């Protein structure tokens, strides 16, 4: 992300700087090409659009004196911002899944994110994150059994979370609103030879919903570890 940012910063500053390009080449394999190219496109849109508006402001000072001034006005004030907002929303939908964005909003879960990134932690989240068992968007991969209207539902609940955060009325450890869905584990693990071998006896019951993943794994390998001082600040 930072390399992409340096390129975008380069475009936004007026030109692609050589060091930024070199850095980007080193880590290209880690970047989502969609995000990379669309971000560059948006950076160009911002530079041109803002340039048009500034030029129009200084040249015409709010007057509409002909076809050219109207062209500047329509392009800079309406068309380019619409393009920025429309395409930017697609990028936003992609980027909102990253751990960084999750962590920047869900502030009550900071200790959970810290634990996930801690290489010494033995929690499920940390094991998956530090070994890159999940390549990217680690929060999202394990917490997105939303369904069709799930996003709306979760945003509604999010408002309650915001209230609790600012009034400091939340308590750690946070409680899930509903039991964790086995499907979010099984969507990756089910069918893996190692998992099949380890769950030879129980897999039928798991698939039938008679036994849940957390029944066995909560104690030995909890999803997240929280430090004692965070639980009792």
Burial profile 190-225: b = 16 or more Cβ within 10 angstroms, e = fewer: eeeeebeeebeeeeeebeeeebbbbeeeeeeebbbb
Q: Which is nearer to another protein, 36 or 221 (CB)?
A: 36
Q: Which is nearer to another protein, 89 or 171 (CB)?
A: 89
Which residues of the shown chain bind another protein in the complex (CB under 8 A)?
Answer: 1, 5, 8-9, 12, 39, 42-43, 45-46, 49-50, 53-54, 56-57, 61-64, 70, 73-74, 76-78, 80-82, 84-85, 88-89, 91-92, 95-96, 98, 100-101, 104-105
Residue 196 beta carbon to another protein: minimum distance, rounded to whole angstroms: 39
Q: Which is nearer to another protein, 1 or 23 (CB)?
A: 1
Residue 60 beta carbon to another protein: minimum distance, rounded to whole angstroms: 8
Q: How far apart are CA 2 and CA 140, in angstroms?
A: 20
Q: Which is nearer to another protein, 97 or 181 (CB)?
A: 97
71 Cα distance to chain centroid: 37
Give the DSSP letter of residue 176. Answer: P
Residue 134 beta carbon to another protein: minimum distance, rounded to whole angstroms: 19
Nearest of 86, 60, 84 to residue 73 by alpha carbon: 60
Q: How far apart are CA 12 and CA 44, in angstroms?
A: 7
Residue 203 beta carbon to another protein: minimum distance, rounded to whole angstroms: 39
- Give the chain's radius of gyration (CA, Å): 24
């Amino acid at each position: 992300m930072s390399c992409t940012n340096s390129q975008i910063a380069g475009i936004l500053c007026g030109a692609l700087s050589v060091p930024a390009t070199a850095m980007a080449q080193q880590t290209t394999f880690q970047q989502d090409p969609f995000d990379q190219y669309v971000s560059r496109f948006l950076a160009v849109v911002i530079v041109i659009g803002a340039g048009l508006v500034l030029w129009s402001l200084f040249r015409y000072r709010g007057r509409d004196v002909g076809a050219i001034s109207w062209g500047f006005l329509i392009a800079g004030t309406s068309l380019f911002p619409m393009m920025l907002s429309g395409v930017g929303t697609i990028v936003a939908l992609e980027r909102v899944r990253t751990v960084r964005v999750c962590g920047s909003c869900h502030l009550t879960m900071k200790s959970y994110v810290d634990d996930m990134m801690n290489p010494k932690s033995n929690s499920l989240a940390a094991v998956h994150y530090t070994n890159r068992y999940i390549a990217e968007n680690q929060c999202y991969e394990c917490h997105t059994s939303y369904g069709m209207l799930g996003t709306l539902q979760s945003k509604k609940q999010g408002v309650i979370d915001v209230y609790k955060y600012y009034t400091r009325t939340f308590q750690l450890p946070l409680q899930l609103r509903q039991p964790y869905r086995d499907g979010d584990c099984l969507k990756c693990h089910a069918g893996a030879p190692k998992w099949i071998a380890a769950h030879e006896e129980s897999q039928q019951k798991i698939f039938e919903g008679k036994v849940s993943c957390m029944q066995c794994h909560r104690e030995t390998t909890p999803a997240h570890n929280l430090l004692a001082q965070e639980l009792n600040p």
